[in-house]
Each structure stands twice: as structure tokens, then as C-alpha cells.
């Protein structure tokens, strides 16, 4: 049994990997929320043209990575951050999110109890229009998830053995990692608890979903699912 060994993860075993590009208006909220929990933070900036780096410096983030690439993506940022992590657990979080203060301990408790789980993620408050009104899209109970979010709590050893996020993906890298985790025999779980608040005011529509490179990425993980006999999940 893969997860037979007992786990004893603690809060200090978590490194928070924050990614962002031109998220200066959100980073203060993001860093403030994390620093209520811990100080082991890595910020990866995808060549922002605003004051994102300055904000990170003001919050005395211990590791700031400035990417300089012709190819930027959330996956690339997460990979760059994860490569610097030495702790047992990684909590990925985007710069336009604020982590719920209770979430890291809940995630740790869940991983300790469910020893075959490699990743756990919860639900988010989604702010789409203003800073007051939000919606919640959530499942109703804990269960083995059939999807994965970019923001999630990951056992680093399993993440590395699965190959991590594929930085060549400009989207859908979460689904790709999901398939790789299951291919190793580990599990991805949804834990019915608030993970973060997401301040996502970016406009997206049908064109974004079906007529950009994002739609092409969907086909990649679909083919990979078929090859790995995970199409039903």
C-alpha cells in the first residue's frame, strides 16, 4: 500500500509558493493572509510591469524569483517556485488570492489522516465584480476529486516523482498533473473547507475557452488520460 507509512506533517513543513504577473493591487492581501500563518514564502514574478516586486520587497518575502522568459504561464511560475522548496509540503497560491487562515492546518490534518492522498484542495470565494459580492462553487463533502485546482496543498515528494507541473502548458496544467499523480497510484482529494478568496476581475468569455491555446491544452490532457486509462475519472 503506497500510503501505508504514518505521516506527521506540521505547519512548519509548508512552503507557500505565490505566483503573479502584474498583481500589485492584490499581493498585499495575499502576503498579509499568508504571514498570519507562516513566513516560509517564495514569490515568483513573471516579469511584471507594475510594482509587484516592490510590494514583495516591502513585505520582506524571503525568496523573490524574477522570471525572464519568452514563455510565461502559471505552470512556469509554479515550477520555478517548487524547484526552490525544501520542505515536505507545498501550498501553491496565486497572487490574486488570499489564503484562508484555517486552511493550511486543515490541509495538513487531512494529509496526515489520508496517507494515500498526495494533493488536497478546497473551495474558494470568487469575487468577480467587486470586493463585496462573491459566489462560492463547491462540492458538498470530502471526496476523491475528479479535478484539480492550480492552488492546492501538495506533498512535495510525490509532486516531484510525478514530474510536477509541466511548464510547457499555458493552461490545463492542473489536469495534466492530476493524471500523473493517479498514474503513480496516489490520490487527489477535495476537502470541504474554505481554501482561499479569489479576486478575479479579469474578463473572459467563450472566445477564451474555445478559440485560444487553452482549448488545445485540454486535448493534451484528454489524450494523456486515455493513454493512462484514467478517462472515466
- Residues 18-57 pLDDT 10s: 999 999 999 999 999 999 999 999 999 999 999 999 999 9
User: Hey, what's the cell of 85?
Assistant: 522548496
- Grid-cell match 475528479, residue found: 146
pLDDT of residue 225: 56
Which is more confidently placed, 142 or 205? 142
Burial tier of 60 (Cβ tally within 10 Å: 0-12, 13-18, 19+): exposed
Which is more confidently placed, 207 or 152? 152
CA 174/CA 189 separation, integer angstroms: 13
- Give the pLDDT confidence of 102-159 residue by residue, as tens digits: 999 999 999 999 999 999 999 999 999 999 999 998 999 999 999 999 999 999 999 9
Residue 19 · residue 77 · CB < 8 Å: yes
Model confidence at 69, pLDDT cuts 50, 70, 90, reads confident
User: Hey, what's the cell of 29?
Assistant: 492581501
**Secondary structure E strands in the chain:** 14-20, 41-45, 63-66, 89-94, 97-99, 117-127, 135-137, 143-144, 153-155, 187-199
Largest Cα–Cα separation, the chain? 49
- Looking at every residue in the chain, the average pLDDT score rounds to 89
pLDDT of residue 71: 83
pLDDT of residue 220: 54
Where b means 16+ CB within 10 Å and e means fewer, 141-156 reads: eeeebeebbbbbbbbb
Where b means 16+ CB within 10 Å and e means fewer, 178-211 reads: bbbbbbeebbbbbbebbbbbbbeeeeeeeeeeee
- Beta bridge mates, 91: 16, 153
**Overall residue count recorded for the chain in this entry:** 233
- Grid-cell match 515568483, residue found: 44
pLDDT of residue 100: 98
pLDDT at 1 over 90: no
Amino acid at each position: 500500500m503506497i500510503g501505508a507509512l504514518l505521516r506527521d506533517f506540521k505547519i512548519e513543513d509548508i512552503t507557500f509558493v505565490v505566483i503573479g504577473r502584474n498583481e500589485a493591487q492584490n499581493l498585499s492581501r495575499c502576503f498579509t493572509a499568508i504571514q498570519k500563518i507562516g513566513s516560509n514564502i517564495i514569490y515568483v514574478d513573471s516579469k511584471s510591469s507594475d510594482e509587484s516586486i516592490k510590494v514583495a520587497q516591502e513585505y520582506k518575502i524571503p525568496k523573490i524569483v524574477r522570471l525572464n522568459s519568452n514563455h510565461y504561464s502559471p505552470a512556469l511560475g509554479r515550477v520555478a517556485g517548487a524547484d526552490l522548496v525544501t520542505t515536505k509540503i507545498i501550498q501553491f497560491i496565486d497572487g490574486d488570492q488570499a489564503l484562508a487562515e484555517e486552511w493550511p492546518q486543515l490541509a495538513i490534518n487531512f494529509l496526515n489522516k489520508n496517507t494515500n492522498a498526495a494533493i488536497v484542495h478546497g473551495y474558494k470565494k470568487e469575487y468577480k465584480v467587486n470586493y463585496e459580492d462573491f459566489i462560492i462553487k463547491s462540492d458538498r463533502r470530502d471526496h476523491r476529486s475528479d479535478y484539480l485546482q492550480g492552488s492546492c496543498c501538495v506533498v512535495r515528494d510525490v509532486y516531484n516523482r510525478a514530474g510536477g507541473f509541466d511548464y510547457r502548458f499555458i493552461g490545463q496544467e492542473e489536469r495534466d498533473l492530476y493524471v500523473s499523480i493517479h498514474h503513480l497510484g496516489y490520490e487527489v482529494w477535495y476537502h470541504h473547507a474554505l481554501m482561499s478568496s479569489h479576486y478575479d476581475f479579469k474578463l473572459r468569455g467563450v472566445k477564451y475557452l474555445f478559440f485560444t491555446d487553452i482549448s488545445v491544452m485540454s486535448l493534451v490532457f484528454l489524450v494523456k488520460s486515455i493513454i493512462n486509462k484514467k478517462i472515466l475519472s
